Amino acid sequence: MPRAAECSGSDLCDEIAGSRDTTFLRIYEGEPPSRLICATEHFRLLADLSPLTLGHLLLLPVAHYFSFAQLVTDFSAELDTILGKLEPMYRQTFGDFTLLEHGSSPGMEASACISHAHWHILPIAGRRIDALIVADGLDTTALTGMDQLAEFSGVPYFMCWHEAGLRVYRPRRPLRSQYLRSKVGALVGIADPLWDYALVVRKELFRETVALTSAWGADADRKPTRARPEAWRD
């Protein structure tokens, strides 16, 4: 199992490890006190710090991986349980349910791309994201199951999963940074480049997302350092 000992420069890595010096705390100053929505043994569900829409969430492993391709084989049962419980609640609260990932790899430049694996969860029409990516000429692979994502371990890729299918995209040339955010931004009517997470932080969307999901982990402790791992277990 290829894994890095640490995730250099990744704020997510530090935050998930319990650091008190995080971008989340600096931006939101204790309101809300936590962005943890749910916890399972090996995963955390968080609100995205700089949401593009209401309901913009992140699902990430507690341990460090560069991408979900590196972990889907080992955690397929836990991921199935999480998605099985999350999708109905999410649809009821926010609408569409689409997963996006920009999977990175150990060989990528540290400054731009190395990151702690995470899926973006967004209430957008996945088919429309697929269409925008295809229009950009990326190589497309349609997968029949999440386990096939493992074939992309160690290479950069983009993933889009929704009710009509799971696709992996590989760029033929370098793409702008925050490529997927730029596509989602185009879809939801955010002017270029205001989808850049550092340019505009939509704090009210974030706080409303946290409020709307506050009951989802009702049997879990919302504090990251005391999360109860069994919360989502059957």
| Residues in contact with Zn ion by the rule CB under 5 A | 7, 10, 13, 64, 116
Sign, Cα dihedral of 177, 179, 182, 184: negative
Q: Are strands 36-39 and 43-47 parallel, antiparallel or unpaired?
A: antiparallel
Give the whole-angstrom CA distance, residue 23 versus residue 38. 20
Q: In terms of CB distance, is 177 or 214 closer to Zn ion?
A: 177
Q: How far is the CB of 101 from Zn ion (least distance, A)?
A: 8
Q: How far is the CB of 219 from Zn ion (least distance, A)?
A: 27
Q: In terms of CB distance, is 40 or 70 closer to Zn ion?
A: 70
Q: How far is the CB of 14 from Zn ion (least distance, A)?
A: 8
3-state helix, strand, coil in the chain (%, to 5): 35, 20, 50
Give the whole-angstrom CA distance, residue 231 versus residue 135. 41
Q: How many CB atoms lie within 10 A of CB 102?
A: 22
Q: Residue 139 burial by CB count (10 A; 0-12/13-18/19+): exposed, middle or buried?
A: exposed
Q: In terms of CB distance, is 10 or 53 closer to Zn ion?
A: 10
Q: In terms of CB distance, is 170 or 233 closer to Zn ion?
A: 170
Q: In terms of CB distance, is 79 or 180 closer to Zn ion?
A: 180
Sheet hosting strand 98-103, strand order edge to edge? 36-39, 43-47, 57-61, 119-122, 98-103, 157-162, 165-170, 139-143
Of the candidates 122, 124, 161, 125, the residue with the CA atom closest to the CA atom of residue 142: 161
Q: How far is the CB of 187 from Zn ion (least distance, A)?
A: 16
Q: Which residue of this chain has its Cβ atom nearest to Zn ion in the complex?
A: 7
Main-chain phi, psi angles of 166, to 5 degrees: -125, 125
Q: How far is the CB of 9 from Zn ion (least distance, A)?
A: 10
Name every residue whose Cβ is closer than 8 Å to that of residue 26 and which is 6 or more positions away in sequence. none
Q: In terms of CB distance, is 214 or 225 closer to Zn ion?
A: 225
Q: In terms of CB distance, is 64 or 183 closer to Zn ion?
A: 64
Q: How far is the CB of 140 from Zn ion (least distance, A)?
A: 20
Q: How far is the CB of 218 from Zn ion (least distance, A)?
A: 27
